[in-house]
Amino acid sequence: MAINLKSRTYEEALSWLRDHGFDVIEAPATPGRVFLKKYNCSAAIQKDGEGVKIFAYPGYLIGGEISRQINKGYQQFLKTAKTEVPASAEHLKALHQFSEELKEALDLPSLYNESLGTVSESYHYDRIVGRDTPQPARAKRPWQVAKPAQKRPA
């Protein structure tokens, strides 16, 4: 059974966002593009024909710049061009709430894995160097290097 998804127009989305407490800031010298701000998080959307397209994905604001979320396996980080800070539970909660409200405003689907919590833009937790290179091209591990046989004293 096919489901028809009705998406909001750009004007309807802006109206919904303003009605739900988002700060809508017009992008300078770029008509049809706005920055959204709420919960100290931000994103940018732009007009795409009759609909709406996300231009800058949601991120927590650090020093006035939209951060990217990076997962290093043991910790989430918020990274900008100038700094990288560990993400606290408050950061992640605000970012998750902002993202869910933005999806509702734009009539985007809320995917299961994203609704469980925030999803990182980049994952950097695999610390095994050279794993992707072919076996013959990899450097020898210390235990693979043959040691010369030592003579035992008599």
pLDDT given for residue 85 in this prediction: 93
Nearest to 52 by CA among 62, 64, 44, 61: 44
pLDDT given for residue 41 in this prediction: 93
**Model confidence, pTM:** 0.68
Nearest to 77 by CA among 90, 87, 63: 87
Give one DSSP letter per residue of 57-103, joined into a string. EEEEEETTEE-EEEE-SS-EEEE-SS-EEEPPHHHHHHHHHHHHHHH
pLDDT along the chain (154 residues), means of 10: 64 87 86 89 86 86 89 84 91 90 82 62 61 79 75 70
Q: Which two tokens stand for residue 140?
A: 């020898």
pLDDT given for residue 1 in this prediction: 45
State how far Cα 98 lies from the chain centre: 13
